[in-house]
Amino acid sequence: MGNKQVIIEVGDGAAIPSPRDKGLFTAWRISFFGTLAIIAYLLLFRPDPYLDIIKFLPDGIVVTFQVTIASISLAIVLGLIAGLGRISRNRLFNLAASTYIEIVRGIPLLVQLFYIYFALGHLIRVPDMLAAIIAMGFCYGAYMGEVFRAGIKSIDEGQTEASLSLGFNRSQTMRYVVLPQAWRTILPPVGNEFIALLKDTSLVSILAVSDILRRGREFASESFQYFETYTMVALIYLLITLILSKLLSILEDRLSHYEQR
């Protein structure tokens, strides 16, 4: 009697609160409304220092999203190229893509940040923000490469064969037939990587990029209110992550309904 293979997918992003998972969906609501309640309580009943802290953080929130959006855009481009390389029949292209994925995924993101900013800084001066975007884009591009590869491979081979029989070449088949269908499979994990990347932007504070954590550290070093500052920083990160995970859940549900039509 054969055993059915079970694939366990574990990512670094947020747990997606699908209504089909009652436990997780309930936990999301408790976490979301609990976070809002705690923030509201601290701002209303303990405005000193929490109101001052939250007034100090908006610039950091903007920078965090700027780094996240720019990095994920670079990661998607690199991921698409790497994913196509992983399934390419061209040995050189396949080898280059596979090597990029193996090397980058084998080096911690923090080390990559230090390398691009400090080590390469001896050869060429890389601005703080650009160094953060390049490092995070290259790192997540390697993970995106596997997402794209899996998404493309999930499309039935019959689609490719039918397209080739109609006179399309392989490049046209990939562009007009395979990728448009693969996007529906790829979008949810890409969204999850977006959330994971946003959380990892906290690492860019070591490069003097004024993200949420960096702004919090600046406030704490001036006021010596470390507990209060990092409590508010943690709550802000949690609230953003919960909101994005809910939006991703809505996207997945809409894609699921679209595929069922």
pLDDT band at 23 (very low <50, low <70, confident <90, very high): confident
Q: Does residue 22 surpass a pLDDT of 60?
A: yes
Give the pLDDT confidence of 167-188 residue by residue, as tens digits. Answer: 777 777 887 788 888 887 888 8
pLDDT value of residue 8: 36
Burial code (b: 16+ CB inside 10 Å, e: under 16) for 103-128 equals ebeeeebeebbbebbeeeeeeeebee
Question: What structural domains and CATH numbers belong to the chain?
Answer: 22-260 (1.10.3720.10)
Q: Does residue 226 surpass a pLDDT of 60?
A: yes
Residue recorded with tokens 């400090």: 118
Going by C-alpha positions, the residue among 129, 257, 185 that lies closest to residue 9 is 185
pLDDT top residue among 245 and 15: 245
Q: Does residue 38 surpass a pLDDT of 70?
A: yes
- The pTM is what? 0.85
pLDDT value of residue 111: 92
Percent of the chain with pLDDT over 90: 54
pLDDT value of residue 258: 61
Give the tokens for residue 98.
């596979």
Going by C-alpha positions, the residue among 242, 253, 249, 248 that lies closest to residue 30 is 242
3-state helix vs strand vs coil in the chain, percent to 5 = 80, 0, 20
The pLDDT mean for the chain works out to 86
pLDDT value of residue 2: 43
Tell me the mean pLDDT in the region 44-57. Answer: 93
Return all residues near 134 (Cβ < 8 A) that are at least 6 apart: 74, 116, 126
pLDDT value of residue 15: 64
pLDDT band at 63 (very low <50, low <70, confident <90, very high): very high
pLDDT band at 21 (very low <50, low <70, confident <90, very high): low
The rounded distance, in Å, linking the Cα atoms of 68 and 77 is 14
Which residue type, as a one-letter code, is found at position 1? M
Q: Does residue 7 surpass a pLDDT of 60?
A: no
The rounded distance, in Å, linking the Cα atoms of 182 and 179 is 5
What is the CB neighbour count within 10 angstroms for residue 68? 23
pLDDT value of residue 89: 87
Helix (H), strand (E) at residue 105: helix 91-105
Give the pLDDT confidence of 86-143 residue by residue, as tens digits. Answer: 988 899 999 999 999 999 999 999 999 988 888 877 788 878 899 899 999 999 999 9
Tell me the mean pLDDT in the region 55-71. Answer: 94
